[in-house]
Amino acid sequence: MNDMNSKNEVKSRKDSRMKLAYSLAEVGDNVAYQSFSFLIFLFYFTVIKLPILWISLTFIFWSIWNSINDPLIGYLSDRTRTKWGRRTPWMVGAIIPLAIIMILLFTPPIYANSDVVNLIYLLIILIIFDTVYTAFNLNYNAIFSEMFVSVKERSEVGRTRVMFVLISLIFAFIMPTFIIEDITNQFGYPYTLDQYQLTGIIIAIIVIVFLFIAVKWGLREPKIFVKDAETAPSFINTMKFTFKNKSFLVFLIPGLTYWICANLLPTLIPLFETYVHKVVDSELIGLVLLAAFITAFIAIPFWEKLRKKKGARIVGMLGMIIWGFGMLIYMLTPDYVVGLIVMIFTGVGLGGTIYFYDQCLAEIIDEDEIKHGTRRSGIYYGIINFLIRLSAVINFSIIGLVFSGTEWSTYTPNPGADVIAGLQFLIGIFPCIVLLIGAIGLYFYPIKGKQLAENRIKLTKLHEEKLKNL
């Protein structure tokens, strides 16, 4: 009996270390993406000073690439069969290229002294970034619902992942503000470009260190899905089955609205704080973003308890409503301090929206496996990754339209009242409307109550059959 207990304790410790190492990937992954979201628009609009409509068109062309790239990588990932598994080769192969691209994002050929050259460079670098980031992120998320099948494990690892997401956000939102003295380039210092590039180098180091730890000690591809690569349907059938999934189609509405607003925050808050609240210190700008995400993390236990009682659907609906009205109030705040206080309370809603997202998507993938017999996490995350990029296109299209109707068709410091009104609309009214649409969409999400319980039973039986056939 003692030997058995000892073996169980050793196994438990190994499992805990593996889960910790897996979750650490959130730091490298989110530092890369959130830094991209936080800085890429600021850099090319305020430092390189590309016209706003040009930037918007670049992101539209980028989305066309994403419409092919993301689902294709998801499909290929589901069909990959190697001795290392389906997901691991993709993740390992993406680490070094992703680190390099984080540096290249901030090294455009400015000495060519041509907007056209810089615009082409931006488009190329966006395409490469998206390809290598998707190769890692898609497979990292896809393997989550494969490694951790029970609700208990998903909740446990989900909490750890959210903790490391918070750490990554500190890096992504605070670290650049300590390095880049004038993050919105309102004073035109000659060394601002160098500071952006130094930030890119630091991000690259973080990416390599944390993603290496994750793939080295945090991956354990379950043997239960080893034959699923053989039974995965063709690309056309894969897309057909996926877009016939009612639960997934409903989920796309709140999923898109979540990413529109999640990407909008880091993109516009630096400009909003600089020109509406008249903030001069870059460090204070990062604190506004961090405050919302810290509150989101603190609120997770509350949302987790509510999910157990009412389901992930209700959590998402309430989170979006709170977040939406919080942004509407933030738009009207008269100064930095009041805005910071409002953003702290707004973070409660952000936490609920973050929490429902992965939980609902895992339920959708479970249901798909029950119906088709094959675990197809990759294609779902491929389409979700396209949704994330589509949200950026929507954002930059709206930003382009609003700013082009003001004096900000090209960036100039000290804007007039029309730019201020545009910033207030973009940071308050627009996200409030979008999040309310998302909450309405979640109302119709069908995996809940009795259906969710039945799916859990069917999934357990299916996995038992797969184990017998190995």
Q: Taking the CB of residue 39, how many other CB atoms lie within 10 A of it?
A: 25
Most confident segment among 35-39, 173-177, 197-201: 197-201
Give 7's pLDDT tier (boundaries 50, 70, 90).
low
Are the C-beta atoms of 313 and 445 separated by less than 8 Å?
Answer: yes
pLDDT above 90: residue 102: yes
Q: Coil, strand, or helix at residue 369?
A: helix
Q: Is the pLDDT of residue 193 over 90?
A: yes
Q: Other CB atoms closer than 10 Å to residue 7's CB: what's the count?
A: 10
Percent of the chain with pLDDT over 70: 94
Q: Say yes or no to pLDDT of 162 above 80.
A: no
pLDDT at 111: 67
pLDDT band at 345 (very low <50, low <70, confident <90, very high): very high
Three-class SS string for 67-106? HHHHHHHHHHHHHCCCCCCCCHHHHHHHHHHHHHHHHHCC
Query: What confidence score (pLDDT) does residue 157 get?
Result: 86
On the question of pLDDT at 389 being above 80, the answer is no
Per-residue confidence (pLDDT) for residue 150, from 0 to 100: 77
The lowest-confidence range among 349-358, 393-402, 460-469 is: 460-469
- Residue 387's pLDDT band, with cuts at 50, 70 and 90, is confident
Task: Please name the residue ranges forming H helices in 375-448.
Answer: 377-404, 417-424, 430-443
CATH 3.40.30.10 assigned to 22-220+244-468: no
Mean pLDDT of 45-72: 87
**pLDDT for 141 beyond 90:** no
**What's the confidence (pLDDT) of residue 161?**
87
Q: Which residue has the higher pLDDT, 170 or 49?
A: 49
**pLDDT at residue 469 is higher than 90:** no
Is 60 exceeded by the pLDDT of residue 10? no
Say how many C-beta atoms besides its own lie within 10 A of residue 255's C-beta: 24
* Interval 103-136: pLDDT, tens: 999 999 876 678 899 999 999 999 999 999 999 9
pLDDT greater at residue 377 or residue 366: 366
Q: What average pLDDT is seen over the chain?
A: 88
- Position 452 scores a pLDDT of 84
pLDDT of residue 273: 96
What mean pLDDT is predicted for residues 98-103? 97
Q: Is 55 exposed, middle or buried (0-12, 13-18, 19+ CB in 10 A)?
A: buried
Instruction: Using pLDDT thresholds of 50, 70 and 90, give the confidence band for residue 226.
Output: low
Considering the entire predicted model, what is its pTM?
Answer: 0.81
pLDDT at 1: 52
Mean pLDDT value of segment 234-248: 82
Average of per-residue pLDDT across 311-328: 94
Task: Give the residue from 91, 90, 143 showing the smallest Cα distance to 365.
Answer: 143
Residue 265, pLDDT > 60, answer yes
Greater confidence, 347 or 239?
Answer: 347
Provide the 8-state DSSP code for 444: T
Q: DSSP assignment of 298-348, as one string?
A: HHHHHHHHHHHHH-HHHHHHHHHHHHHHHHHHHHT--SHHHHHHHHHHHHH
What is the rounded average pLDDT of the residues 291-312?
Answer: 87
Which residue type is seen at 93? G
C-alpha distance from residue 308 to each of 151, 224, 298, 311, 437 (Å):
10, 28, 18, 6, 24
How long a stretch of residues is the chain? 470
Residue 41 is predicted with a pLDDT of 92
* The one-letter amino acid at 153: E
Model pLDDT, residue 208: 97
**Rounded mean pLDDT, 224-229:** 67
Of 117-126, 381-390, 443-452, which one has max mean pLDDT? 117-126
pLDDT tier at 356 (50, 70, 90 boundaries)? confident
